[in-house]
Amino acid sequence: MLRSHLRPTLVLLGAMTLLLGIAYPAFVTLVARIAFPAAASGSLIHRDGGVIGSALIGQSFASPRYFWGRPSATAPQPYNGLASGGSNLGPLNPALLSAVDSQVSRLRQADPAVRDAVPVELVTASASGLDPDLSEAGARFQVGRVASARGLPSATVDALVTAHVRGRVLGFLGERTVNVLELNLALDALR
Amino acid sequence: MNADAEFQLLLATLLLAVIACVRPLGDYIARVMEDGGPLARVGGGRLERGIYRLCGVDPAAESSWRDYALALLLINVAGAVAVYALQRLQGYLPLNPQVLGAVAPDSAFNTAVSFVTNTNWQGYSGESTMGYLVQMAGLAVQNFLSAATGLVVAIALVRGIARHTVATIGNFWVDLTRATLYVLLPLSLVLALVLVSQGVIQNFSPYVEAKTVEPTIYEAPVLDPAGAAVVDAAGRPVTQPAVANSQILPMGPIASQEAIKELGTNGGGFLNANSAHPFENPTALTNWLQMFAILLIPFALTYTFGRMVGDQRQGWALLVAMLILFVGLTLVAYYSEQHGNPLLAHRGIDQLASNGQPGGNMEGKESRFGIAASALFAAVTTATSCGAVNTMHDSLMPLGGLAPLFLIQLGELAPGGVGTGLYSILLYAILGVFIAGLMIGRTPEYLGKKIEALEMKLASIFILTTPFVVLAGTAVAVASAAGRAGVANPGPHGFSEILYAFSSAANNNGSAFGGLSANTVFYNISTAIAMFIARFWPIVAVLAMAGSLAAKKRIPVSEGTMPTHGPLFVALLLGSILLIGVLTYVPALALGPVVEHLKLIAAT
Give the residue from B296, B325, B351 where a domain finishes: B296
Report the distance separating Cα B393 and Cα B406, nearest Å: 13
Q: Is B15 part of a structural domain of the chain?
A: no
SS3 B406: helix
Question: Mutation test of the interface with chain A: which of B395, B496, B499, B601, choosing the one with the most A Cβ atoms within 10 A?
Answer: B395
Query: B370 vs A174: CB contact, 8 Å cut-off?
Result: yes
For residue B288, give Cα distances in angstroms to A172, B66, B228, B238, B589: 11, 41, 42, 44, 30
In a domain, B60, yes or no: yes
Q: Are B562 and B570 in contact (CB under 8 A)?
A: no
Contact B101, B90 (CB under 8 A): yes
Tell whether omega for the bond before B567 is within 30 degrees of 0, i.e. cis.
no
| B187, B216: one domain | no
Same-domain pairing of B213 and B154: no
Q: Are residues B51 and B181 in the same domain?
A: yes
Do B185 and B43 fall into the same domain? yes
Q: Please indicate whether residue B45 or residue A150 has the higher confidence score (pLDDT).
A: A150
Spatial distance between the Cα atoms of B118 and B268, rounded to a whole number of angstroms: 9
Whole-angstrom distance, CA of residue B592 vs CA of residue B595: 6
Statement to judge: residues B27 and B40 lie in one domain:
yes
B393: amino acid identity, one letter: H
Chain A nearest-CA residue for B601 = A92
Residues 34-73 of A with CB under 8 A from B: 35-36, 39-45, 50-54, 56-57, 59-63, 66, 70
Flag whether B119 is in a domain. yes
Report the alpha-carbon distance of residue A163 to residue A141 in Å, rounded. 16
- Assess whether B224 and B77 both reside in one domain: no
**Do B160 and B288 have their domain in common?**
yes
Residue contact B220–A76, C-beta within 8 A: yes
Is B27 part of any domain? yes
- Interatomic CA distance for residues B410 and B576, integer angstroms: 11
SS (H, E, C) B299-367: HHHHHHHHHHCCCHHHHHHHHHHHHHHHHHHHHHHHHHHHHCCHHHHHHCEECCCCCCCCCCCCCCCCC
Does residue A191 carry a pLDDT above 80?
no
- List B residues 345-364 in contact with A (Cβ-Cβ < 8 A): 347-351, 354-364
Extended beta strands in B118-207, E state: none
Helix axes A2-16, B46-55, angle to 10 degrees: 140
Residue B314 in domain: no
- How many Cβ pairs closer than 8 A exist between chain A and B? 406
Q: How far is the alpha carbon of A154 from chain B, nearest alpha carbon, in Å? A: 18
Q: What residue ranges of chain B have pLDDT lower than 50?
A: none
A28, A88, A104 ranked by CB distance to B515: nearest: A88
pLDDT at B1: 61
B49 and B137 within one domain = yes
CA separation (Å) from B398 to A114, B220, B576?
Answer: 33, 33, 26
pLDDT tens profile B223-247: 888 878 888 888 888 999 999 999 9
User: Nearest-CA distance from A45 to chain B in Å?
Assistant: 9
Q: B240 and B183 in one domain?
A: no
Report yes or no: B599 at the A interface, CB cutoff 8 Å.
yes
Q: Which residue of B has its CA nearest to A101?
A: B347
CB burial readout A42-62, b (16+ within 10 A) else e? bbbbeeeeebbbbbbbbbbbe
**Cis, peptide link before residue B250, omega less than 30° from 0:** no
Q: Which amino acid makes up residue B449?
A: K
Buried b (16+ CB within 10 A) or exposed e, A24-33: bbeebbebbe
DSSP 8-state class, residue A152: -
Helix, strand, or coil (residue B285): helix
- Name residues whose C-beta falls within 8 Å of residue B62's C-beta, 6 or more positions apart in sequence: B168, B169, B170, B171
Q: Are residues B83 and B173 in the same domain?
A: yes
Q: How do strand A133-135 and strand A165-166 relate by DSSP bridges?
A: unpaired
Domain assignment present for residue B144? The answer is yes
How many domains are contained in chain B?
2
CA of A144 to nearest chain B CA: how many angstroms apart?
17
Which of B511, B522, B538, B510 lies closest to B113 in space, CA to CA?
A: B510
* B chain contacts of residue A124, beta-carbon cutoff 8 Å: 361-365
Beta strand ranges found along B432-474 (DSSP E): 445-446, 449-450
Secondary structure element (H or E) that encloses residue B593, with its range: none
Asked if the Cβ–Cβ distance from A7 to B218 is below 8 Å, we say no
Answer yes or no: do A184 and B213 touch at CB < 8 A.
Answer: yes
Name the residue of chain B whose CA is nearest to A6's CA. Answer: B74
Is it the case that residue A140 has pLDDT exceeding 80?
A: yes
Judgement on whether residues B239 and B280 belong to the same structural domain of the protein: no
Phi-psi region of B144 (alpha: psi -120 to 50; beta: other; left: phi over 0): alpha
Smallest CA-to-CA distance from A124 within B120, B15, B396 is with B396
Query: Which of A 139-158 lie inside 8 A of B, CB atoms?
Result: 140
pLDDT band (50, 70, 90) for residue A171: confident
From B90's Cα to the closest Cα of chain A, the distance in A is 15
Give the torsion sign (CA, B283, B289, B292, B296): negative
Distance from CA of A31 to the nearest CA of B (A): 8
CA B52 to chain A, closest CA, distance in angstroms equals 8
Test A28 with B250 for CB contact under 8 angstroms: no
Would you say residue B40 lies in a domain? yes
Range of the domain at B233: 208-249
The helix/strand/coil state of B375 is helix
* Run of H or E including B211: strand B208-221
Verify that B154 and B244 share a domain, yes or no: no
CB contact B448 to A (< 8 Å): no
pLDDT of residue B2: 85
Distance CA B65, CA B70 (A): 8
